[in-house]
Amino acid sequence: MFKNRICFLLVLSSLFLFTNSFSQDFGQNQVFNPLSWSAKVTKADDVFTVSFIATLEKGWHIPSIRPLPEDAIGPIATEITFLNPDDYQLINGIIEPDGIETFDETFELDIKYFEDEVAFQQKLKMTTFDKPIEAEIYFNVCDDERCLPPEIKTFNIKVEADGTYIILGENILLTEKDKELAEQLKLDIPNPELINSTQEKQSYVMLFLLGFIGGLLALLTPCVFPMIPLTVSFFTKGASTPKVGKMNAILYGVFIFGIYLLLSLPFHLLDSVNEEILNNISTNTVLNIIFFVIFIAFAFSFFGYYEITLPQSWSNRMDQKAMSFGGVIGIFFMALTLAIVSFSCTGPILGSLLGGSLTSDGGATQLTFGMGGFGLALALPFALFALFPNWLKAMPQSGGWLNTVKVVLGFIEIGLAFKFLSNADLVENWGLLKREVFIGIWILTGIGLALYLLGKIKFPHDSKNIKLNKGRVITSTLILAFVIYLIPGLTNSSYANLKLLSGFPPPLNYSIYDKDSEGMLGLEQYKDFYKGLEVARESNKPIVVDFTGMACVNCRKMEEQVWSEPEVFEILKDEVVLISLYVDKRKDLDKEEQFNFEKINGTIKQIRTIGDKWATFQTLNFKNNSQPYYVMLDADLKVLNAPTGYEPDGEAFLKWLKAGIKAKDSE
C-alpha cells in the first residue's frame, strides 16, 4: 500500500511546488519615506562636479536616468533638470554609475535601477558666481511590491570660485490659493478609524516549506532511500551503547541539515559583493539557456539514459576521512559523503530550488530558507528512525518503484527547464515561447507522464512487465486532470488566466493572439475622483477607489490576474463605481489648479501634474502612499471596510468587495 501511494504523494507535492504563491506585506497604513537626497560639489582645475546623492533604505530602489523607448510604458526614469543653465556651461550629460539591469516581464522592457546609494554627477564650468546652481530632480522609488508616487526635489547650491559651496533652502511661501486648493483636496471622512489593516509577510516560511517538500521528494529517490535503514542500523548497532548510537544518528542528521545550509552561504557573499550577479540569473539570456540545457540533461539522466554524478574521487576521499577521524568529525564527513554520492538525484531538485529562489527578489536569503527546509527533510528520517528503530520495519523495500519516482522527477525537470528558456525568450523577444506555446509544452509533458505511469511509455531502467497498480492509475488520473486544467490556457478567452500557475508561464499579454490594449479589461473607469463621486451619488452605488500607476507592476498583476476573474469582473463592471487614480501621470494640471502643498514634516511639495494631485490626495486622506491601494466608500465618503493593497488571492479580493457592498446595503 505504501508503494502505491508514493507516486500519488509525489505528484501532489510537485503540483504544490508549481502553485506556490507568497502573501505580501502591504504596509497598508504607512506613509513611506525611504529616500533622502543630499548634494556636494567638488572642483578640479576650473571644472566643478555637482553630485546629487540618493540614499535609500534597504529593499528600495530608484530608476536610472535612462529614458524609456518611445511609446513604452514602464518605470519612470529619474530626471535631473538644471533651471538656470545660462549661468554655467554644462559639460556633456549626467553621469550615473553601473546599476542593476533586468528584464521586467510585466512591462516587457529592459530596466535599470539603483539600490542603497547612488550619485548622479554633472560636470560644469561657472560663468558667474553671483547666482546659485538651481536643479530639479523628478523621481520615484519602488520596492519589490510597490512604487511610490513621483516627487520633485529642488536644490539651490551657491558655489564660490575656490570650490566651497552652500546649499540654500527652498523658502516657498504658501498663498491663500495654495491653502484653499489644499483644503479642497481633503475629504471629510466620517469614520477614518477604519483605515487600519496590516498583513504579515510569510514568503520565507513558504520557501522553507517548499524546500522541505523538495527534500521529501529527494528522500524517495534510489540515491537516498536505501541509505536510510543502512545508515541508521550502522549507528544503532555499531555504537558502544544504544544511547550513543542514537546520539550519533541524530548528530548525523544535524550535520546533513547544516551542510545544505552552508551551500547557500557563497550566494550571500555574491549578493553582498555585487547584487547584479544574483539578479542576472533571472535576466541574463546566456545563463537562462545554460539552466535550460542543464535541466534537460538532468531530466534525461532521471529517465535512465546516463547518470550524472560528482567525481568518484570526492566521495572516496570523504569516506576515507570519515573512517580515519572517527567521532564527531567522522560523522560530519559521513554526512558530507551522503551529500556527494546522492547528487545525481538531489542535484536536479536543488537546481530547481536554486533557480526558483535566486530568480526572485529575495535572492540569497530566500535560498537559505529553501535549502534549510531541504536539508531538514533529508535529515529527519535518520534522527527519527534512530530514536524509534521499530519504524524501520514499516519501511517498504527498495525496488522498481524508486526508478518510477526518478522518471516522474525527470518529467517535472522538463517542465521547469522550459521556464528558464521562457525567461531568455522574454528578454530577447524572440517570440518562440509565447504563453500558449509554453502551456502547450506543459500539456504534452503532462500527457507523456500520464502515459508513462500507465505503462505506454518505457525507459531504459524500467522492467519489461510493469504492473498497473492503483497508485499509478490514481496518479495518472491526477496528472490528466491537471492537463485538462491547462487546456483553457490555449484559448483567447477569460478562462486563459490560469491562477494556479501565476508566475510560471509568460504574461497574458505575451500571446499568439492580438490583445486589445485599450483600457483595463474594458471596464468603465473614472480618472477623476470628483466625477466618479457624482456618478456614485446619482446611481447610489458604492465606490472603489483604485490608487494605481502606469509604472506599477503589482497593479498590472491585479488587473490581469484578479480583476479578470468572472465574479470580481462582474462586480467591478455592474455593482460599483470604479475610480482609478494614476499617481504617476505626468500631464500638467491647468494653471489655476496648480498649487504648493505643505506636508506634515513642513516641507513643500509642488502640485503641478495630475499624478502629483492624486498622490497627495491618497497620502492626505488615507495616510498611505503605496500602490496598488484600494478603498471602498459610499457617496457620503464613509469608509465601508478596511482598505486593502496587493491581494493576489482572487477569493480574498472578492470577499473584500462583497463585504464593502454588504456594508453599503445595510446603511
CATH number of the domain bearing residue 531: 3.40.30.10
Q: Verify that 268 and 339 share a domain, yes or no.
A: yes
pLDDT of residue 576: 94
Q: Report cis status (omega within 30 of 0) of the bond before 628.
A: yes
Q: What is the pTM of this model?
A: 0.43
Burial of 191 (0-12, 13-18, 19+ CB in 10 A): exposed
Query: Which of the four pLDDT bands, split at 50, 70 and 90, describes residue 353?
Result: low
Report whether 405 contacts 303 (CB < 8 A): no
**What's the number of domains the chain is made of?**
3
pLDDT of residue 654: 93
Q: Verify that 489 and 534 share a domain, yes or no.
A: no
Report whether 621 contacts 543 (CB < 8 A): no
Q: Verify that 6 and 48 share a domain, yes or no.
A: no
Half-sphere exposure of 6 (CA within 13 A, CB side): 27
Kindly state whether residue 116 falls inside one of the protein's structural domains. Answer: yes
Q: Verify that 231 and 188 share a domain, yes or no.
A: no
Average pLDDT over all residues of the chain = 76
End of a domain among 194, 213, 246? 194
Report whether 158 contacts 166 (CB < 8 A): yes
The answer, yes or no, to whether residue 86 has pLDDT greater than 70, is yes
Q: Verify that 109 and 185 share a domain, yes or no.
A: yes
CA 48 to chain centre: 42
Kindly state whether residue 416 falls inside one of the protein's structural domains. Answer: yes
Burial of 209 (0-12, 13-18, 19+ CB in 10 A): middle
3-state secondary structure of 388: coil
Pairing between strand 543-548 and 577-582?
parallel
Kindly state whether residue 495 falls inside one of the protein's structural domains. Answer: yes
Report whether 542 contacts 664 (CB < 8 A): yes
Q: What radius of gyration, in Å, describes the C-alpha atoms of the chain?
A: 30
Report whether 506 contacts 422 (CB < 8 A): yes
Of 34-43, 123-132, 462-471, minimum mean pLDDT range:
462-471
Highest mean pLDDT of the ranges 24-33, 315-324, 389-398: 389-398
Q: Verify that 313 and 394 share a domain, yes or no.
A: yes
Grid cell 540545457 in the structure block, residue: 293
DSSP 509-530: TSSSS----SSSTT--EESSHH
Kindly state whether residue 273 falls inside one of the protein's structural domains. Answer: yes
- Mean pLDDT to the nearest integer, 171-191: 82
Q: Verify that 368 and 220 share a domain, yes or no.
A: yes
Of 9-13, 86-90, 113-117, 325-329, minimum mean pLDDT range:
9-13
Cell numbers that stand for 540 in this block? 447610489
Query: Which of the four pLDDT bands, split at 50, 70 and 90, describes residue 226?
Result: low
- Mean pLDDT to the nearest integer, 284-299: 77
Distance in angstroms (rounded) separating the CA atoms of residues 617 and 605:
12
Q: Verify that 174 and 302 share a domain, yes or no.
A: no
Kindly state whether residue 641 falls inside one of the protein's structural domains. Answer: yes
pLDDT above 90: percentage of residues in the chain: 20
The answer, yes or no, to whether residue 454 has pLDDT greater than 60, is yes
End of a domain among 157, 174, 194? 194
Q: Verify that 131 and 44 share a domain, yes or no.
A: yes
pLDDT of residue 588: 86
Query: Which of the four pLDDT bands, split at 50, 70 and 90, describes residue 52?
Result: very high
CA-angle at 588, arms to 583 and 590, nearest 5° = 120
Query: Which of the four pLDDT bands, split at 50, 70 and 90, describes residue 447?
Result: very high
Kindly state whether residue 510 falls inside one of the protein's structural domains. Answer: no
Kindly state whether residue 517 falls inside one of the protein's structural domains. Answer: no
Kindly state whether residue 516 falls inside one of the protein's structural domains. Answer: no
Q: Verify that 529 and 471 share a domain, yes or no.
A: no
The answer, yes or no, to whether residue 205 has pLDDT greater than 50, is yes
Q: Verify that 179 and 254 share a domain, yes or no.
A: no
Q: Answer with the residue of higher pLDDT: 389 or 601.
A: 389
Query: 121: domain range?
Result: 35-194
Query: Which of the four pLDDT bands, split at 50, 70 and 90, describes residue 520?
Result: low
End of a domain among 135, 170, 194? 194
DSSP 263-329: TTHHHHHHHHH-HHHHHHHHH-HHHHHHHHHHHHHHHHHHHTS------HHHHHHHHHHHHHH-HHH
Run of H or E including 153: strand 151-159
Q: Verify that 463 and 549 share a domain, yes or no.
A: no
